[in-house]
Amino acid sequence: MNFKLNNKKLDEIKADASVVFVVDKNLKHKFVKADAKTLKFLGFDGSGICFVQESKTLYVGIEKLDLEEFRLGASKAYSALKKFNIKSIKMATYVSTCEKGSFSALVEGFLLGSYEFDKYKSEKTKSNLDKVVFSTAEIYGGEKISTQKVKLGIAQGEIIANATNFVKDIVNETPEIYTPQKMADDACELADSLKNVTCKVYDEDFLKEQKMGAFLAVNRSSALPPRLIHLIYKAPKAKKRVIFVGKGLTYDSGGLSLKPSDYMCTMKSDKSGGAAAMGIIMAASQLELPFEIHAIIGATENMIGGDSYKPDDVLISRSGVTIEVKNTDAEGRLVLADCLSYAQDFKPDILIDMATLTGACVVGLGEYTSGIMGENESLKEDFKQRSAKSGELISILHFNDYLKELIKSDIADVSNSASSRYGGAITAGLFLNKFIKDEYKDKWMHQDIAGPAFVQKAWGYNQAGASGAGVRMNIYYLNSLVREMK
């Protein structure tokens, strides 16, 4: 989809249809005036959508001049018009408090809303709509705009949305196709296509050399070997080193603690954290962020067989911490434990892991919200505030010493599964905390994206399936750090 600026008024711009946002049900605004009588006749009250055929104008209700409302409005507009025989639309310029952010959000809404994963469908639906023209002569929410900021906003929106949709493709792909080796190949291809990005891929021999006993145990019953993927984006004169560690379970059967069959149906999505780490590298490089950013991904399957690791086993992790296995379906934290240990060798200024880690997080927060955890309360609060404009929903979950008691083991340093079913998202975070060195505990944050990463029904501007969770909130966070440094 192409996005253009035009300094003419709307009635002077040629396009197949118009889109008008109705802000806070204001049906008296000049942009609505031409069709006011028709809208009243059709019962349109300023909420939802209404298409007026005579003027070829789609009216989309939004609550306020807000970045998330812009995303939702743009997505609704695309969904309503995609089946029409139109190639182009025009709309006025809608501006919140941030010009650049406004256009980034509008572009994100169109591109995220237009995503489809129809690779395996015989009949594919393709929209003709491929051009959006913004009139800079017609402005809602201000009097003047900076054309340069608008262009930067459009470019940023395209980069962030395309990186998110790139992640959706990975997560939606089937486990037969998307193996650990496929993830490694994609990472290498991504590095080759990007500026200042390198990729190293390590096999099971390297994992053995590194004594990654927890990671290797998870892989034992898979017919497919594991891969440790290490992407590095390094800007010239990088000002911070930020390391993302992603859970890359390309399929999770639960191992010997076998999942019920209906719970297995979405387990291709267990690679969402690793995929998000790749998407962040992609966006960071294209945005030319002034950081050194690493993406470390533990890619494997968790399968079942005669060589499966077992409840009652004790595993020795890379850091030397011993782990009593109580549940082989608590495997993601085992892979992350060794990957986090490896990540700390590179001395991060900020260390973030992302994982579809617990169903408990979904139970506690719902399907649409990620939980963030860690020992540094100010880091979590700062992240939440800086990433808020991304539109991704976040809740902070707090550690406490009472829950820490639940992962104690009588025979090892820690248990991979809590002795109580309650507080499971937090006890999983506390397990990971066991593998963070003291000097990095204030720099580390755990993001449980199990809820929004894969939802089996459409929501907002997200289709059923993968949402690319984690990409936008982390890129908005990094972007905010850049603005602060200027």
**Residues 175, 68 contacting (CB under 8 angstroms):** no
Catalytic residue among 149, 200, 240, 259: 259
C-alpha pair distances (Å), 295 with each of 287, 351, 386, 482: 16, 10, 21, 19
Measure Cα distances from 45 to 65, 102, 361, 369 in Å: 18, 25, 38, 30
Contact assessment for residue 394 and residue 473, using Cβ atoms and an 8 Å cutoff: yes
Asked whether the beta carbons of 318 and 296 are under 8 A apart, the reply is no
The Cα 375–Cα 353 span in angstroms is 14
CA distance 193 to 183: 15
Residues in the chain: 486
Q: Indicate if 259 belongs to the active site.
A: yes
Q: Which of these is catalytic: 318, 333, 386, 472?
A: 333
Number of H helices, E strands in the chain: 16, 19
Six-digit token string for 239: 């000002």
For this structure, is 421 an active site residue? no
* Whole-number Cα distances in Å, 248 to 58, 136, 333: 42, 44, 11
Q: Is the dihedral of CA 277, 278, 279, 284 positive or negative?
A: positive
Euclidean distance between CA atoms 413 and 116, whole angstroms: 46
Distances (CA, A) of 22 to 26, 29, 64, 73, 132: 6, 8, 9, 10, 18
Question: Known catalytic residues?
Answer: 259, 333
